[in-house]
Amino acid sequence: MRNEIRTIGIIGSGQMGSGIAHVCSLAGFEVLIHDVAEDRIKSALATINGNMARQVASQKITESDRNAALDRIKPAPDLDALTAADLVIESATEDEAVKRDIFASLQPVLKSTAILASNTSSLSITRLASASAAPESFIGIHFMNPVPVMELVELIRGIATSQETFESAREFIARVGKTIVVAEDFPGFIVNRILLPMINEAIYTLHEGVGTVDAIDTAMRLGAHHPMGPLQLADFIGLDTCLSIMQVLYEGLSDSKYRPCPLLVKYVEAGWLGRKAGRGFYDYSGDTPVPTR
């Protein structure tokens, strides 16, 4: 029998990793955060603290909930600390080579009953699982960004994922309070298979001069009732992430309709990666974002 999941290891303390740590700790799990740079872990803990403080202010959680949750999160600067984890969620950059290196490094660390999951937004779970010591204990658990706010998690089985692993992951997500959709192991899964081509098409619409940044985003907010325009959303996701997902779709499905827009490629080459870089389809240097086209 597989052990009950009590302790969660998280690899990568960026926006997604810190968000996963946030919701897991509030759900009562012990959390261990690992990153290659210790200062990133400190930054993640500060972000979680601030986000929970906002939840207290809006009366979504109590001050005692926040304090208890923060006490459950521990930094794990060395991978060896993840020996205690019942479930390890990899949330590193969307680069298959990086992820495979992480899984290989984890092999001597994980206990035999541990589940290993990837928060990948588009890469093959079957292929990633082949880099782990136990593909039957590997699964895709794709949280949406921002994790504390978004209600959905995609659960993706690789070809070798056992039913026991699947059920354990399903129970874990339910305890975190998220809604599950099960996706087959195809490039982009469900959400990004639909969302990213829409964003890519919005960038083509800009590239071809059909509308300005403001016109495109206003059209989709007011004309399709989207809460955020597609170019604003691309900046929020990160244009490098958008490009990598489109490349996975294009290469994995061999269909020209998934070809990344040349303008998206240019922005990434220029380092204009969106909100995190201070510039993308909007310039974020002032008090209010200003369209760059």
The answer to whether 51 is a known catalytic residue is no
Which residue out of 119, 137, 168, 192 is catalytically annotated?
A: 192
Alpha-carbon gap, residue 276 to 66, rounded angstroms: 27
Domain 191-291 in the same topology as domain 7-183: no
Q: Is the torsion defined by CA of 138, 140, 145, 151 positive or negative?
A: negative
Which residue out of 121, 124, 132, 200 is catalytically annotated?
A: 121
The CATH label, of 1.10.1040.50, 3.40.1010.10, 1.20.58.340, 2.40.30.60, for the domain at 191-291 is: 1.10.1040.50
As a dihedral over the C-alpha atoms of residue 61, residue 14, residue 94, residue 109, rounded to 10 degrees, the angle is -90
C-beta separation of 8 from 18 below 8 A: no
Alpha-carbon gap, residue 21 to 8, rounded angstroms: 8
The answer to whether 121 is a known catalytic residue is yes
Q: Which of 8, 79, 16, 93 is nearest to 48 (CA)?
A: 16
At 94 the pLDDT is 87
Alpha-carbon gap, residue 240 to 223, rounded angstroms: 27
Alpha-carbon gap, residue 256 to 179, rounded angstroms: 33
The answer to whether 119 is a known catalytic residue is no
The answer to whether 22 is a known catalytic residue is no
pLDDT tens, the chain, 293 aa long? 456 899 999 999 999 999 999 999 999 999 999 999 889 999 999 999 999 999 999 999 999 999 999 999 999 999 999 999 999 999 998 889 999 999 999 989 999 999 999 999 999 999 999 999 899 999 999 999 999 999 999 999 999 999 999 999 999 999 999 999 999 999 999 999 999 999 999 999 999 999 999 999 999 999 999 999 999 999 999 999 999 999 999 999 999 999 999 999 999 999 999 999 999 999 999 999 999 99
The CATH label, of 3.40.1390.10, 1.10.760.10, 3.40.50.720, 3.30.470.20, for the domain at 7-183 is: 3.40.50.720
Residue-range domain boundaries for the chain: 7-183, 191-291
Which residue out of 94, 137, 154, 244 is catalytically annotated?
A: 154
As a dihedral over the C-alpha atoms of residue 127, residue 238, residue 265, residue 250, rounded to 10 degrees, the angle is 30
Which residue out of 18, 142, 168, 244 is catalytically annotated?
A: 142
At 1 the pLDDT is 47
